[in-house]
Structure formats: structure tokens, C-alpha cells
């Protein structure tokens, strides 16, 4: 972090500034998301903008680069992201997604970075983030990659009571619901179409998947549980908890 200039954000830096950060052996943390429907009230960029905001907050506390973000993710699934039948969602095939990450990792290593965090916001990317990290790591013994496929902090019962006073829907169903709506309210309230917010819930919640898509496992709105409990205050709290975890990981792995 350059004290007066705010967090180091990869995209806004010149090559010399990036090169200096790499030479100083700073970590670089890559926000990984998706372009995916987020209900009637949130924009499709939710999954790649929110992790950037969180990392930028964390970058005020520890000196690392908020790396190049990945705006496309693996296919949306009904029980966690609404499913591939929604217009607006733009997903990559598994092979494409993994190739993109493989190339980004190789290029960052070429540019001098030895410490990389993959910070993934989109649930469906799980596994597909690990594989490219594994492949690139095998080729570059000097490289350390930290794979954070699930960015959420531990939700203790105390925290659950704050976030979901009416009962915890399960993290998978927290799509376009309390967490993401609150974070947007805190970070950029103009993104939230509050007049389009409404409770919703899947008709069918099971622990398996079906193809062709069984739309009863998703919802009509795209929110998998109710966003009505969202607030900027909760967004602030969530940001603190998320940042706390980022900082802890950075300290543990690169301290």
C-alpha cells in the first residue's frame, strides 16, 4: 500500500509500478468472480466487483496488490447461483475458465510475483480454481499460490443471529440475498434496485443436481433466499469480517 495513494490496484498501475511491487516481493491477490444473474435488484457484475471492494479494504491494512480480476466464472448452478437458464449470466466452460487462470498465474510469475492469492467469490468455481493453481505451481517451484475458494469467514452463531435473525438459509442459498445485497448497500448503494427487492425461495431444496435444469431448484427472481434483511450496516460488518480473514491469511501465509 502506498500510504497516500490508496491500495495498489493492478489495472490502474503502470508496468513499472507493478514491476516494483513484484520486486518488493509483495503478494498479489486476484479477485475471481462471474458474470451472473443476481436477482431482480443486483447487477450481473456482483461476483467480480464485491471481492475487489473487499480486497481493496484489506489492502489498506496490509501491503499487497489487488490483482487483475476475473469477471467470468464457471457455469451457474440452480442451487447456488440460479442456474444456466437465466439470461444475463455469461459463464465459461470449465476448460476455458481453468485456462484463463492458468495463463494469468503464469504471466504474474513471469512478471516477478512469487506470492499469489486466488480469492474466489463464485461458489461454482470451486475445484476449477485449484486445478490451474496446481498446474502452474508444478511448473514453477519458486511460486506460492494460496487458493481461497470459499472467501466467507466463519459464521458463528452470534454472527448468524445478526445476519439472519429469522434463521440461516444455508450459504449456498445466500445468492443475491442478505450478504451480497448488504455489501452493495455499504459499498455502492446506487447499484441496488431496492424497488425490485422481494423475498423468494426455491420450491425444492435437495443435495443433488438434475439436468436438464429443474427450475424448482432455483427461483423466478434469481435470489435464492430473501434479501429483505439486508442493510448497509450489515454490509459494513460483513466487510470487516471478510477483511479480517483476508488479513489473517496474508499474515499466516506470507507473514
**Residue 102 known to be catalytic:** no
Residue 63: active-site member: no
CA quadruple 237, 226, 78, 101: dihedral, nearest 10: -20
Task: List, in order, residues 6 or more apart from 166 with CB less than 8 Å away.
Answer: 229
From candidates 24, 193, 194, 203, binder to a copy of itself by CB under 8 A: 193
CB of residue 173 to a copy of itself, shortest distance in Å: 16
Strand partners, 173: none
Least Å distance between CB 158 and a copy of itself? 18
Q: Does 93 bind a copy of itself (CB under 8 A)?
A: yes
85 catalytic residue (yes or no): no
Q: State CA 15 to chain mean position distance.
A: 26
Residue among 57, 149, 174, 175 flagged as catalytic:
175
- DSSP labels, 96-157: HHHHHHHHHHHHHHHTT--EEEEEE--GGGTTTTHHHHHHHHHH-TT-EEEEES--PPP--H
Answer for which of 52, 89, 181, 226 binds a copy of itself (CB under 8 A) is: 89
Q: Please identify which residue in 61, 68, 114, 232 interacts with a copy of itself, judged by CB under 8 A.
A: 68
* Candidate list 57, 149, 174, 180, residue with the active-site label: 180
Binding-site member from 147, 183, 224, 238 for a copy of itself (CB under 8 A): 147
Q: Does 210 bind a copy of itself (CB under 8 A)?
A: yes
Q: CA 80, CA 196: separation in Å to the nearest integer?
A: 20
Q: Which of 6, 24, 127, 170 binds a copy of itself (CB under 8 A)?
A: 127
* Catalytic residue check, 47: yes
Site for a copy of itself in 160-179 (CB under 8 A): none
What does R_g of the chain's alpha carbons equal in angstroms?
18
Q: Answer left, alpha or beta for residue 165, where phi above 0 means left and psi between -120 and 50 means alpha.
A: alpha
Quote the least distance from Cβ 224 to a copy of itself, whole Å: 14
Question: Cβ of residue 200: shortest distance to a copy of itself, in angstroms?
Answer: 13
Instruction: Provide the residue count of the chain.
Output: 255
Question: Interface with a copy of itself includes 2 (CB under 8 A)?
Answer: no
Ramachandran area for residue 201 (φ above 0: left; ψ -120 to 50: alpha; else beta): beta
Distance of CA 33 to the CA centre of its chain: 5
131 binding a copy of itself? (CB under 8 A): yes
Per rule CB under 8 A, is residue 84 in the interface with a copy of itself? yes
Range 101-120, binding a copy of itself (CB under 8 A): 102-104, 107-108, 110-112
Least distance to a copy of itself, CB of residue 197, Å: 11
Amino acid at each position: 500500500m502506498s500510504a497516500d495513494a490508496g491500495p495498489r490496484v493492478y489495472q490502474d498501475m503502470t508496468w513499472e509500478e507493478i514491476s516494483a511491487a513484484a520486486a518488493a516481493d509483495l503478494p498479489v491477490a486476484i479477485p475471481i468472480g462471474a458474470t451472473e444473474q443476481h436477482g431482480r435488484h443486483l447487477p450481473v457484475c456482483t461476483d467480480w466487483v464485491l471481492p475487489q471492494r473487499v480486497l481493496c479494504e484489506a489492502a489498506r491494512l496490509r501491503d499487497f496488490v489487488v490483482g487483475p480480476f476475473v469477471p467470468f466464472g464457471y457455469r451457474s448452478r440452480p442451487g447456488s447461483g440460479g442456474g444456466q437458464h437465466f439470461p444475463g449470466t455469461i459463464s465459461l466452460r470449465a476448460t476455458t475458465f481453468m485456462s484463463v487462470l492458468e495463463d494469468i498465474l503464469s504471466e504474474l510469475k513471469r512478471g516477478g510475483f512469487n506470492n499469489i492469492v486466488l480469492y474466489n467469490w463464485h461458489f461454482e468455481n470451486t475445484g476449477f480454481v485449484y486445478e490451474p493453481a496446481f498446474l502452474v505451481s508444478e511448473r514453477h517451484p519458486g511460486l506460492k499460490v494460496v487458493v481461497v475458494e470459499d472467501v466467507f469467514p466463519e459464521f458463528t452463531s452470534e454472527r448468524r443471529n445478526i445476519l439472519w435473525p429469522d434463521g440461516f438459509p444455508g450459504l449456498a442459498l445466500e445468492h443475491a440475498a442478505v450478504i451480497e445485497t448488504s455489501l452493495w448497500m455499504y459499498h455502492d448503494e446506487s447499484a441496488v434496485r431496492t424497488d425490485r427487492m422481494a423475498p423468494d425461495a426455491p420450491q425444492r431444496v435437495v443435495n443433488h443436481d438434475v439436468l436438464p435444469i429443474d427450475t424448482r431448484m432455483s427461483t423466478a427472481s434469481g435470489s435464492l433466499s430473501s434479501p429483505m434483511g439486508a442493510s448497509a450496516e450489515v454490509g459494513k460488518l460483513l466487510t470487516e469480517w471478510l477483511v479480517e480473514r483476508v488479513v489473517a491469511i496474508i499474515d499466516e501465509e506470507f507473514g
